[in-house]
Structure 1
Amino acid sequence: MADSGDDAIAAAEMRAASTRARNLPLWDDLPIPNDTANLREGPDLNEACLALLPMVGVWRGEGEVDYPTIEGPRKFAQQLTIAHDGRPFLIHESRSWLLDDEGNVIRPAARETGFWRPQADDTLELLLTHNTGLVELYYGKPRNQTSWELGTDAVIRTASAKEVKAAQRLYGLIEGSLGYVEERAMMGQELQPHTSALLHRVVG
């Protein structure tokens, strides 16, 4: 039997017990609003971002990367920060690191930064810049109140970056955690699964 609404609220309160008082480091002398990843603190979330409200926070967890052009699958860990400063966009910052089979850190891995830009027609724009020399522009829409699907409209790469033709991402909340899967068409391969992860809230 599915949990009742009261059970779901109680479970959410329990999950928030250790995260509700945490936030990003604050600059006391900043003359403009600080970024916040905690909806209880800082500027109010802009109404344009309400469809993305559940994503705001800092998330940390583990995942797997696998693709025909790499020796895999490989385990990785990741921290994803989704924050805002009161304006009609969200700030996106992701850091990841490779793990061995025992869960020990091998080395830093992919990084990406960018912005979620929700539009009045419910379209989502996601601009991402990667440390590997890629710039990606995604478009998509919410699938429902707790999942979001996007695909690339354009991929730009530096002369030293690997060939990437397209990518798709699906994000969704799973019992209070944030999961995602990513597909990529790169290095002569067709669009296919590349990474997936399940991240747990640590801030917000």
Structure 2
Amino acid sequence: MDANKEPPVVHPAVAALSFLLGTWRGQGEGGYPTINSFSYAEELHFSHSPNKPVIGYTQKTWKLGSGEPMHAESGYWRPKLDGTIEVVIAQSTGLVEVQKGTYSTEQKVIQLQSEMVGNASKVKEIRRCFRMVDGTLCYDVEMATNTITLQPHLKAALKKL
């Protein structure tokens, strides 16, 4: 690396969430009234292009033991300086989420709620909450369908690699 080269600049809107940047790995549990409970391994990756007000997001899960792929999604997180955030996520199932929410720099909590769930015949609403707990990135996902009100669906705890 050139000793005279300046380090990449984190956009001011991204700075408050820069603790997310990097790769996280851990395990989670899922369930819903219409499916059997399950456990999974997971990896999240948050990236940032210098000077851009956006965080790239990718996620993948696999079965514990066999390593067989289960789910994947990717998208973009656009934090704003006023503590609000806009998120778009495309899932490997074809479902698309447009979410809005808030984040707290002090508490390191991000709350997201779907504004729109596209290409989903049954899913009507998704809520996600990410929070840092003693260096561990934890999240909960709740989901509602056209016949079931908002219910817990997924939860995981991930460590930074």
Q: Is the contact made by 1:63 and 1:197 (CA closer than 8 Å) also made in structure 2?
A: yes
Query: Could you say which structure has the larger radius of gyration?
Result: 1
For residue 17 of structure 2, give the secondary structure of its aligned residue in structure 1. helix
Shift of 1:152: 0.4
Task: Give the Cα separation in 2 of the matches to 1:138 and 1:147.
Answer: 15
Give the 5 Å matches for 1:155-194: 155-157=117-119, 161-186=120-145, 188-194=147-153
Task: Give the Cα separation in 2 of the matches to 1:83 and 1:59.
Answer: 12
Q: Deviations over 1:71-120 (max 9, x none)?
A: 2x100010000011111100000000122xxxx12521110000000124
Shift of 1:42: 6.0
For residue 35 of structure 2, give the secondary structure of its aligned residue in structure 1. coil
| Structure 2 residue 40 is the aligned partner of structure 1 residue 76 | yes
Structure 1 counterpart of 2:21, from 40, 47, 56: 56
* Runs of 4+ with deviation above 3 angstroms: none
| Structure 2 residue 70 is the aligned partner of structure 1 residue 112 | no
Task: Give the Cα separation in 2 of the matches to 1:148 and 1:182.
Answer: 12
Change (3 A) 1:88 1:50: same
| Structure 2 residue 99 is the aligned partner of structure 1 residue 138 | yes
Unaligned runs of 5+ in 1: 1-40
Q: Is the contact made by 2:17 and 2:105 (CA closer than 8 Å) also made in structure 1?
A: no
Q: Which deviates more, 188-197 or 136-145? A: 136-145
Aligned twin of 2:61: 96
Change (3 A) 1:107 1:92: same
TM-score (structure 2 length as normaliser): 0.90
Aligned twin of 1:197: 156
Q: Is the contact made by 1:138 and 1:150 (CA closer than 8 Å) also made in structure 2?
A: yes
Task: Give the Cα separation in 2 of the matches to 1:55 and 1:98.
Answer: 24
Q: Is the contact made by 1:62 and 1:76 (CA closer than 8 Å) also made in structure 2?
A: yes
Q: Is the contact made by 1:69 and 1:187 (CA closer than 8 Å) also made in structure 2?
A: no
TM-score (structure 1 length as normaliser): 0.71
Shift of 1:121: 2.8
**Structure with greater helix share of residues:** 1
For residue 66 of structure 1, give the secondary structure of its aligned residue in structure 2. strand
Aligned twin of 1:9: none
State, as a whole percentage, how many aligned pairs show the same letter.
Answer: 34
Shift of 1:186: 2.3
**Structure with greater strand share of residues:** 2
| Matching residue's letter, 2:138 | G
